[in-house]
């Protein structure tokens, strides 16, 4: 059984008489100090249930797709078509906003099965990516191309939203609780390797000043990755027994789900995190391109640095995640993200110039913090959601998180548009729309850190092996 944080945080000391006495002093650091720096055994699929390694290959090929369609290349193309901050916020909000379709899509899972649902959704969204690749060749006007891009992203997000709720319940059903930390580490390593490869290819394509054909080629790479990811779903073991789907799909009202303390705390924490983090990816690109005037290929390279930092640190994280639990990793990751926001604030406010060493350090730290947070948070979610009603719990949680992630860039995009080009200066600090954004997010991340301290690392009762 995975030890809880309470067990790990409790040690004993002795008084002057040699009598053992309990203390709440954490004893985590000695365990971490003995962890190997690069345990290559974490890459091994030995010990995973038969066939489940295909889930990691799905993550790899899927990561050739989403960094292009949902990341910097999409925002750069929209910026090239004349999109402002409000439109960029809308583009960033569409994919998470359409996650509300997890709930109606959840009713199709017993009929199609987990595998059938994912193949339907991921196959359909890949067609939307192919349509994106055709936009530069079919539409010449910037306004028409931008509208078509929004429509294609809407279609992509719709199919993704319908099917996406099947993935985590499927994985949680296939992977035993005591090895989920290692599985999600391996999953992150595969995904981020694919992410890095996608950004490397896009950076090569964008090396010269990109035009329509470069953006089209980037979207075609994303479509190829999406197609390969669908093929990886075929050999994955499906769960088709009526008993499983009856248990996993047992209906609970939203009030009943939120009355469960561990699930409620998980929801509150993740919603707060998404509200703060939802605009980071899009508005860092907007700042670097619009204010710092960095070339598009250079922005892609910096994005790749974040993945490099994350991949290296995940090896170390994998040796301790199943032993110390998710909460310590989450706490350290949040502290790292606070430093990231403060660094962006210092950059946008003119305190520190936009040099390549400073930008590289920001992206490396954001990658370390972001990817370790993701691995630990995925493990925590899978442990804290019970088997009874699992599909509805996951669907409800993902809807809440994605709605929060959608609201964040929309609100911030409107605020930044209202601030516009106005600037203020106090004590050598330049206050503009981007320094206000980064500074506010750094402050708002502090209560998120304190919310994380209430999270519970112990498995749901029905998950205890």
Whole-angstrom distance, CA of residue 56 vs CA of residue 229: 10
What are phi and psi for residue 21, nearest 5 degrees?
A: -135, 140
Q: Quick one: tokens of 215?
A: 């953006």
Greater model confidence, 47 or 157: 157
Q: Is the pLDDT at 186 greater than 90, yes or no?
A: no
Q: How far apart are CA 460 and CA 354, in angstroms?
A: 47
Q: Output the pLDDT for position 241.
A: 52
pLDDT at 26: 38
Q: What pairs with residue 13 in β-bridges?
A: 21
CA 456, 333, 304, 295 dihedral sign is: positive
The whole-angstrom separation of Cα 306 and Cα 186 is 18
Helix axes 356-384, 167-174, angle to 10 degrees: 70
Written as six digits, the tokens of 179 are 């090895």
Is the model's pLDDT at 272 over the cut of 90? yes
Instruction: Give the pLDDT score at 408.
Output: 86
Instruction: Note the maximum CA span of the chain.
Output: 84
Q: Which fold has domain 52-463?
A: Growth Hormone; Chain: A; (1.20.1250)
**Does residue 77 contact residue 69 with C-beta atoms inside 8 Å?**
no
* Cα separation, 395 vs 168, whole angstroms: 9
| pLDDT above 90 (res 302) | no
Distance separating the N- and C-terminal Cα atoms of the chain:
6
**Contact indicator for 163, 113 with CB cutoff of 8 Å:** no
What does pTM read for this prediction?
0.68
CA nearest 240: which of 394, 120, 112, 119? 112
* DSSP conformational letter for 250: -
Task: For 344-393, give the DSSP string.
Answer: HHHHHTTSS---HHHHHHHHHHHHHHHHHHHHHHHHHHHHHS-STTHHHH
Q: What is the DSSP letter of 20?
A: E
Residue that has been written with the tokens 């430093």 in this structure: 339
Coil, helix or strand for 199? helix
- For the chain, the average pLDDT equals 79
Distance, CA of 385 to CA of 90 (rounded, Å): 31
- Over the range 206-244, which residues count as b (16 or more CB within 10 Å of their CB) and which as e? beeebeeebbbbbbbbbbbbbbbbbebbeebbbbeeeeb
- For residue 452, give the 3-state DSSP assignment: helix
Tell me the average pLDDT across 229-242. 82
Measured at the CA of 190, the angle between CA 186 and CA 193, to 5 degrees, comes to 135
Residue 176: predicted pLDDT: 84
Question: Following CA atoms 370, 372, 375, 380 in sequence, which dihedral angle do they give, to the nearest 10 degrees?
Answer: -100
Q: What is residue 13's DSSP assignment?
A: E
Handedness of CA 34, 39, 43, 44 (dihedral sign): negative
Q: 5-43 pLDDT, tens per residue?
A: 333 333 334 444 444 443 333 333 333 333 333 344 555
Q: Quick one: how far is CA 415 from the chain centroid? A: 24
Least confident of 13-17, 194-198, 326-330: 13-17
Q: What is the DSSP letter of 461?
A: G
Cα–Cα distance between 40 and 371 in angstroms, integer? 18
Provide φ and ψ at 321, rounded to 5°.
-60, -45
Partnered with residue 22 across adjacent β-strands are 12
Q: What distance in Å separates the CA atoms of residue 10 and residue 6, rounded to the nearest whole number?
A: 6
Confidence class for position 263, pLDDT limits 50, 70, 90:
confident
What ranges in 141-291 are assigned the alpha helix state H? 142-164, 167-174, 180-205, 212-233, 242-248, 254-258, 261-277, 280-290
Q: Which helix (H) or strand (E) holds 429?
A: strand 429-431
Mean pLDDT of 102-116: 83
Q: Environment class of residue 327 by beta-carbon count within 10 Å: exposed (0-12), middle (13-18) or buried (19+)?
A: buried
Q: Rounded to whole angstroms, how far apart are CA atoms 147 and 142?
A: 9
Q: Assign 125 a pLDDT band (cuts: 50, 70, 90).
A: very high
């Amino acid at each position: 059984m995975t030890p809880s944080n309470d067990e790990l945080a409790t040690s004993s000391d002795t008084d002057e008489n040699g009598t053992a006495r309990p203390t709440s002093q954490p004893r985590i650091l000695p365990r971490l100090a003995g962890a190997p720096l690069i345990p290559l055994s974490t890459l091994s699929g030995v010990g995973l249930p038969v066939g489940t390694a295909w889930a990691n290959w799905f993550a790899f090929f899927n990561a050739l797709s989403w960094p292009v369609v949902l990341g910097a290349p999409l925002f750069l193309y929209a910026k090239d078509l004349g999109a402002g901050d409000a439109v960029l916020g809308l583009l960033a909000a569409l994919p998470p906003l359409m996650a509300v379709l997890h709930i109606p899509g959840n009713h199709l899972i017993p009929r199609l099965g987990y595998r059938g649902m994912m193949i339907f959704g991921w196959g359909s969204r890949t067609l939307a990516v192919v349509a994106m690749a055709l936009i530069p060749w079919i539409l010449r006007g910037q306004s028409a191309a931008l509208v078509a891009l929004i429509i294609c992203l809407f279609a992509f997000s719709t199919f993704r939203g319908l099917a996406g709720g099947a993935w985590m319940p499927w994985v949680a059903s296939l992977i035993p609780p005591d090895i989920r930390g290692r599985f999600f580490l391996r999953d992150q390593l595969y995904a981020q390797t694919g992410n890095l490869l996608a950004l490397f290819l896009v950076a090569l394509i964008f090396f010269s000043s990109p035009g329509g054909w470069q953006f089209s080629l980037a979207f075609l790479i994303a479509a190829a990755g999406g197609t390969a990811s669908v093929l990886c779903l075929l050999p994955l073991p499906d769960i088709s027994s009526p008993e499983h789907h009856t248990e996993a799909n047992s209906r609970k009202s939203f009030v009943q789900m939120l009355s469960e303390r561990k699930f409620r705390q998980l929801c509150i924490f993740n919603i707060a995190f998404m509200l703060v983090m939802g605009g980071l990816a899009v508005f860092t690109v907007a700042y670097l391109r619009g204010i710092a005037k960095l070339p598009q290929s250079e922005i892609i390279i910096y994005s790749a640095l974040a993945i490099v930092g994350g991949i290296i640190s995940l090896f170390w994280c994998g040796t301790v995640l199943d032993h110390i639990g998710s909460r310590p990793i989450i706490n350290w990751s949040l502290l790292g993200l606070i430093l990231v926001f403060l660094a962006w604030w210092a950059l946008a406010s003119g305190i520190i110039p936009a040099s390549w060493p400073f930008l590289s350090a920001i992206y490396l730290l954001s990658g370390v913090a972001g990817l370790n947070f993701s691995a630990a948070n995925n493990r925590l979610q899978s442990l804290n959601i019970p088997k009874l009603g699992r599909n509805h719990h996951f669907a409800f949680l993902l809807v809440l998180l994605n709605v929060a992630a959608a609201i964040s860039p929309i609100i911030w995009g409107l605020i930044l548009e209202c601030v516009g080009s106005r600037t203020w200066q106090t004590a050598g600090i330049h206050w503009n729309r981007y320094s206000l954004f980064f500074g506010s997010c750094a402050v708002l991340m502090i209560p998120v850190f304190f919310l994380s301290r209430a999270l519970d690392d112990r498995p749901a009762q029905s998950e205890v092996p």
